[in-house]
Amino acid sequence: MMRKRGSFNDKRRFMEPADPEVLNEIVSRVSYGGNPEHKRNPGDFGLTPPAQPRPDKSLCDEIGVFRRAEAERLLRDGLKRGMVSEHWRQGFPRNI
């Protein structure tokens, strides 16, 4: 069962409009690192479960993302569609 967020996080606001040329350039360089706090079962993500799990974290497992390859495909698809936040860090959108 998916939980609904209690409030909107302004950091997740989509960039409008996202520059397709910039996004296409970074699609080949992006990779998924993952966060063990968002995994019930780290699977092939190569992550060590957190020592003190936080039950308030949303889990990727709940939406069926169990493999790193699938996470990276979704990440690239989000980039191609311009689903990126206004906030960027080191040449990449903070959220995709």
Domain extents for the chain? 14-35+58-96
| Higher-confidence position of 80 and 11 | 80
Query: Above 50 in pLDDT, residue 52?
Result: yes
| Higher-confidence position of 61 and 11 | 61
At residue 2 the predicted structure's pLDDT band, cuts being 50, 70 and 90, is: very low
Number of other residues whose CB lies within 10 A of the CB of residue 42: 16
Helix (H, G, I), strand (E, B) or coil at 88: strand
Q: What is the mean pLDDT of residues 74-95?
A: 89
Query: Above 70 in pLDDT, residue 69?
Result: yes
pLDDT the model gives residue 1: 46
60-92 burial, b if ≥16 CB within 10 A, otherwise e? beeeebbebeebeebbbebbeebbbbeeeeeee
Query: Above 70 in pLDDT, residue 92?
Result: yes
Average pLDDT value over all residues in the chain: 81
